[in-house]
Structures are given as C-alpha cells and as structure tokens.
C-alpha cells in the first residue's frame, strides 16, 4: 500500500511518521511542498505518486488567531479538503480527512455521536465543519472523516509542551476548569488512522483517548507525572478558574467529549486512557534534573 500524507511536518503528520507500519510506502508532503488549495497541483501530485490512500493531516489549528484571520482558516480547513477530495476521486485514491471536536457547541450533557448536530462557536470550528461537508459532498459514501479532540504530543507546540514551559518558569498558574474534553496523544490517533487505511469504515468516525478531563485536570496530571519523571523540579500551585476569568478571542465549547464506541467496536480495539498516554509521551522526554540523588 502507498499512502500520501499532507501536512507531514505538522504535529499529526510527524506522529504518522513515527507510527508508520513497516509494510506501507509513504509519501510525505509538507506545506512548502504542496499547495493543498490548488486543484491542479493536487491532481498532479496524485497522478505522479499514485497513492492508494491520502491522509489529510494538514490544518489551520490556531483557534484564537483564526478569529482575526478567517480567510487563512477557510482556505486550509474548508477549501483545501474539498479540493483534496475531488483530486482523490479523480485519481481513485481513498481519502481520510481529520477533523475536530470544535464542530460542536458544547451544550450537550453526554458524549457527541458522529451524527449529533454540529454548531461551531468560532471561526476555526466553522471552517473545519465546512471542510467536513466538502469532503462528504465530493466523495459521498466513500468519504471518511475522523474527528478527534485536544491533540498533543511531546514535540511541537501544544498544551503539554506549553504547560511544561510555564511550570518551569512560574510558581503559580491559573487553568480553566469548565471546559471538558478528552486529551488525545497524536501517536494514538495516528495509529488509529493507519488501521483505517484498510477501508473498513467510511462516513464520520470519532477517535480520541478514553476518559475525560478539564484543562485543569490535564494540567494537574502533567505536573504530577512530569515531576515524577524529573521533568519539573517542583510542582507549581495550580488554581482552577472558569472560562470567564480567562477570556480568549475564540469561544471554546464547555463540553466536547466524543462518543467513539462505534469506531472502537468496528476496529476491535479500545482507545488508551488519556492519562496512560500522557505517561507514554512524557517518557520520551529527557529529564532536566535528577531527583533523589544523595547529596
């Protein structure tokens, strides 16, 4: 099997590289190597490489910046997926398009099903939803859209790496406690996407790590696990606050947990709990100090 990955230099693209199966030939294309909004460039690349599957891991993920730069978010998250889908249709390649929990408004009281009504709160979520629609319209029953949530890795810039930076710099941090989701390790999502390349599922699927957490819960776990591993000299004071105390340009959903049970059953696997995956991510980092050494 040959798989072409767009957004190969991004957080998910790098995770796909780390978890690549040995029996798969991969073509990795970063933003500088392929303009995913250009239909002609897309078709030329697919004609050249002839992939069986395309994984669209490219996305504009700057949630707050999207509020002041909606055109860029629209081009990458909405226009490009439609162009990729049409190119895949013409080249007879299967497309796996990655989307987000931010297509929901967060007013639910139970995990969102793939068919739950979408109602994005900001530019980022709205652009991602339009990208989903474009893919579904272009490919019909052959389309596969995989939504995930709160993606992070031990590399790149994300909540985990930012928290580690701030926890080393400050004795006290205030963390939002009234936004609930499922932190998901990029490598876990990547492994699920590799499994999905076999074509057994289509439509909209949900995949994230198991369990739920607030950003505050996630930060507390990061501090505790990082301190245990010698990544933090001491655990800072973490104070829970509500979203209103920390206003941001983009409004986030208060509850965006995804119901992934159907996907788990279809794949015959259960997603790892987010805390165990956090431990795996932190285990890849080099301690900045040695704890417990006799003086």
- Catalytic, 124? Answer yes
Number of Cβ within a 10 Å radius of residue 234? 10
* 253 token code pair: 């959903």
Give the closest residue to 138 by CA, choosing from 79, 196, 195.
Answer: 79
The single residue of 112, 124, 152, 216 carrying the catalytic annotation is 124
The runs of H, that is alpha helices, within the chain are 11-18, 39-49, 65-68, 70-74, 80-91, 123-139, 159-169, 186-196, 215-228, 261-267, 274-282
Q: Which letter, b or e, does each residue of 173-182 get, where b requires 16 or more Cβ atoms within 10 Å of its Cβ? A: bebbbbbbbb
What does DSSP assign to residue 52?
A: S
The bridge status of strand 213-214 relative to strand 180-181 is: antiparallel
What does DSSP assign to residue 92?
A: T
Which residues, in sequence order, are CB contacts of 268 under 8 Å at separation 6+? none
CA 203 – CA 207 distance, rounded (Å): 13
**Alpha carbon of residue 119 to chain centroid:** 19
CA 33 – CA 49 distance, rounded (Å): 14
CA 60 – CA 42 distance, rounded (Å): 18
Number of Cβ within a 10 Å radius of residue 126? 21
Active site residues: 124
């Amino acid at each position: 099997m040959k798989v072409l990955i767009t957004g190969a230099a991004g957080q998910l693209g790098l995770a796909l590289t780390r978890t690549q199966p040995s029996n798969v030939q991969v073509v990795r294309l970063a933003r500088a190597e392929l303009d995913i909004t250009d239909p002609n460039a897309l078709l030329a690349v697919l004609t050249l490489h002839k992939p069986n599957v395309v994984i669209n891991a490219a996305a504009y993920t700057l949630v707050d910046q999207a509020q002041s730069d909606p055109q860029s978010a629209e081009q990458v998250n909405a226009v490009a997926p439609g162009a990729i889908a049409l190119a895949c249709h013409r080249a007879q390649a299967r497309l796996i398009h990655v989307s987000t929990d931010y297509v929901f408004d967060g007013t639910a009281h139970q995990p969102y099903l793939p068919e739950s009504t979408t109602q994005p709160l900001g530019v980022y979520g709205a652009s991602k939803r339009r990208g989903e629609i474009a893919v579904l319209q272009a490919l019909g029953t052959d389309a596969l859209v995989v939504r995930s949530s709160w993606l992070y890795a031990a590399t790149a810039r994300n909540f985990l790496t930012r928290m580690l930076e701030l926890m080393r710099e400050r004795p006290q941090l205030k963390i939002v406690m009234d936004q609930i989701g499922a932190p998901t390790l990029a490598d876990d999502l990547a492994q699920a996407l590799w499994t999905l390349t076999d074509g057994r599922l289509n439509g909209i699927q949900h995949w994230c790590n198991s369990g739920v957490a607030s950003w505050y819960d996630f930060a507390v776990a990061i501090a505790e696990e990082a301190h245990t591993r010698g990544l933090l000299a001491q655990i800072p004071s973490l104070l829970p606050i509500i979203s209103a105390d920390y206003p941001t340009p983009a409004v986030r959903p208060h509850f965006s947990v995804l119901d992934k049970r159907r996907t788990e059953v279809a794949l015959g696997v259960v997603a790892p709990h987010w805390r165990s995956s956090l431990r795996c991510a932190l285990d890849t980092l080099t301690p900045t100090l040695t704890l417990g050494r006799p003086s």
